[in-house]
Amino acid sequence: MSKTILAEVDGFTPIIDSLIDNKELGIIGAAVFGRIWRYCQMSDNVCRASHDRIADELGISRRTIIRYIDVLVSQGYLKDTTPELRNRPHIYADTGKASISVKVGVTESHSDTKSQYGDTKSQPTVTESHMKIVSKREKKKETATEPNQESTVKTRDIQNAYLSCVSYPVDWRKNEGHAAKWLADNGYTPDDVAGCYKTMKAQDFWKDKPLSLTSLKSQIGQWKESNLKRKVIHVNV
């Protein structure tokens, strides 16, 4: 029987049981946290996505997003790093308070014990195994990482960087997914993607047009070369 392996899924939003059980959050609040957590896995470890973007991705209203973010911040699961900002997306950071310890299996074994009345009773013992979702900051502490997992993380970072630039959902199954993987495999960073996108959208040709990641991929090499040249300091001897 086939099964879904999270390590092989190109992007997922975690829903944490302890947040679902929280009376002020429930499953909607847990989903909001999970979506913000995804953005926090980018290279700068923060979520810069707008309320509108998160609302569109989860299929709920902007007002609902704001309400649950306020709860997540007040309860210490998220930190608003830009509390004084007005009319612009706030930047949120994962505080690390939310941790996942999931019972993924229960095995019962029986041992014979004698009660105070002398009869023998079979007592079950329960063993639990735990699964933890590790953030990128924790992942850096590990001494070894499987190559395919590392590649997946980089591709996801590229995707999240592009998602932070656009205001519409992206279908990663075909060309856009291939472009994200190519950018990751060729050493481009999320900052490269965001920088190239900003530069291209400033051009008259792209100003009023959707800029796909596939189109960005075809220009990013030239953009990076030009960007590096601008950073060269000439010293007259």
Residue 196's pLDDT is: 93
Mean pLDDT of 176-194: 90
Q: Answer for the pair 160, 41: CB distance below 8 angstroms, yes or no.
A: yes
E-strand ranges in the chain read 46-47, 78-80, 92-94, 106-114, 120-128
For residues 168 and 55, give the distance between their C-alpha atoms in angstroms, rounded to a whole number.
11
* Number of helical (H) and strand (E) elements in the chain, helices listed first: 10, 5
Residue 32's pLDDT is: 93
Instruction: Indicate the DSSP class of residue 188.
Output: -
Burial 164-174 (b: 16+ CB within 10 A, else e): bbeeeeeebee
The dihedral through the CA atoms of 50, 54, 57, 60 has a sign that is: negative
* Residue 115, C-beta contacts closer than 8 angstroms, at least 6 positions apart: 121
- Cβ atoms within 10 Å, residue 222: 10
Residue 136's pLDDT is: 44
Instruction: Between 7 and 24, name the one with better pLDDT.
Output: 24
Q: pLDDT tier at 8 (50, 70, 90 boundaries)?
A: low
Tell me the average pLDDT of the chain.
76
Return the percentage of the chain with pLDDT > 70, whole number. 68
Q: Where in the chain is the domain with CATH 1.10.10.10?
A: 6-94
Residue 116's pLDDT is: 45
Q: Give the residue among 156, 103, 96, 161 at the shortest CA–CA distance from 128.
A: 103
Instruction: Give pLDDT tens digits for 114-159.
Output: 444 455 444 444 444 344 444 444 444 444 444 455 555 588 899 9
Q: Answer for the pair 217, 183: CB distance below 8 angstroms, yes or no.
A: yes
- Helix (H) or strand (E) segment spanning residue 219: helix 213-231
Q: pLDDT tier at 185 (50, 70, 90 boundaries)?
A: confident
Instruction: Give pLDDT tens digits for 204-225.
Output: 899 888 999 999 999 998 888 8
Two structure tokens written together for 8: 């092989």
The fold for domain 6-94 equals Arc Repressor Mutant, subunit A (1.10.10)
Task: Specify burial of residue 117 (Cβ count, 10 A radius: 0-12, 13-18, 19+).
Answer: exposed
Is this model's pTM higher than 0.75 or not? no
Residue 7's pLDDT is: 53
Residue 2's pLDDT is: 58
Q: pLDDT tier at 14 (50, 70, 90 boundaries)?
A: confident
Residue 164's pLDDT is: 92
